[in-house]
Structure 1
Amino acid sequence: MPLPLVSIVTPSLNSATWIRATIESVLAQDYPRLEFIVMDGGSTDETHDILRTFADRLTWYAEPDSGISQAVNRGWARSRGEILAWIGSDDLYRPGAVTAAVAALMAQPATTAVYGDCDVIDAQGRVAGRVPTGPFDRGRILGWNYLAQPAVFMRRTALARAGWLDESLLNVMDHDLWIKLARQGDMAYVPMTWAAVRVHSQTVTNRQVRRAGEETIRVVTRAVNDPALPAAWQPLRMHALGEAYLRAGMCFYAASDLPPARTYLRQALRCAPGLALDGRFVRTWFSSWLGARLIARLRSWRRAPHRGGVERRSEA
Structure 2
Amino acid sequence: MTAAGGLVSVIIPTYNRSRLCRQAAESVLSQTYPKVEILIVDDGSQDDTRDVVSMLDDRVHYIRQDNAGVSAARNRGLLAAKGEYIAFLDSDDLWLPWKLEAQVSLLKRCPNAGMVWTDMVAVDESGTPLFEAYLRRMYEAYRSFTPEKHFSRSWDIGDVWQDCPARWRKRKCYQGDIFSWMFMGNLVHTSTVLLRRERLEKVGFFDVTLLRSGEDYDFHARTCRVGDVAFMDFPTIHYRIGAADQLTQSEHMVWIARNNLTTVLKMLDSTHGEIALPRRLFRARMASAYAWVGISEFSENRAAARRHLWKSLAWFPFQPRTAAYLFLAIMPLPFTAALISLKRNLVDALIA
Per the shorter chain, which TM-score range? 0.7 to 0.9
Asked whether 1:223 is paired with 2:267, we answer: yes
Of the structure 1 ranges 101-110 and 130-139, higher mean CA displacement relative to structure 2 is found in 130-139
In structure 2, relative to structure 1, the CA distance for the partners of 1:163 and 1:272 (3 Å cut) is farther
Corresponding position: 1:242 with 2:287: yes
Cα 1:114–1:82 change in 2 (3 A) is same
**Structure 1: tracts of 5 or more residues without a match:** 278-288, 299-316
1:201 corresponding residue in structure 2 = 244
| Pick aligned residue for 1:131 from 114, 132, 135 | 135
Alignment of 1:271-290 (within 5 A): 271-272=315-316
SS in 1 for 2:182: helix
Q: Which residue is 1:159 aligned to?
A: 200
TM-score, normalised relative to structure 2: 0.70
SS in 2 for 1:9: strand
Structure 1 residue 249 displacement after superposition: 6.3
1:42/1:261 CA distance change after superposition, 3 Å: same
Residue 51 of structure 1: CA displacement? 0.8
Residue 232 of structure 1 aligns to a residue in which SS? coil
TM-superposition CA deviations, 1:180-226 (whole Å, max 9, x none): 11111122111120112212122135453311110110111111122
**Distance in structure 2 (CA, Å) of the matches to 1:232 and 1:118:** 29
2:42 to 20, 23, 40: 40
Alignment of 1:261-300 (within 5 A): 267-268=311-312, 270-272=314-316
Secondary structure, in 3 states, of the residue corresponding to 1:89? coil
Segments of 4+ moved more than 6 angstroms: 255-263, 274-277
Contact kept in structure 1, 2:11 and 2:41, CA below 8 Å: yes
- List alignment gaps of at least 5 residues for structure 2: 137-141, 152-177, 322-339
- Counterpart Cα distance in 2 of 1:119 and 1:275: 34
Work out whether residues 294 and 307 of structure 2, in 8 Å CA contact, stay in contact via their aligned partners in 1: yes
Go from structure 1 to structure 2 and tell me whether the alpha carbon gap of 1:13 and 1:149 turns closer, same or farther (over 3 Å shift): same
Q: SS of 2:77's equivalent?
A: helix
* Pairing 1:189–2:231 present: yes
Specify which structure has the bigger relative contact order, considering alpha-carbon pairs within 8 angstroms and separated by 6 or more residues.
1
Q: CA RMSD in A?
A: 3.3
Flag the structure with larger Rg: 2
Alignment of 1:304-315 (within 5 A): none
Q: CA distance change for structure 1 residues 63 and 264 in 2, over 3 Å: closer, same or farther?
A: same
In the alignment, which residue of structure 2 is the partner of 1:9? 11
**Contact 2:7–2:83 (CA under 8 A) maintained in structure 1:** yes
Alignment equivalent of 2:185, drawn from 120, 124, 144: 144
Query: Following TM superposition, by how much is the alpha carbon of 1:139 offset from its aligned partner in structure 2, in angstroms?
Result: 2.6
> What is the number of residues matched between the two proteins?
281
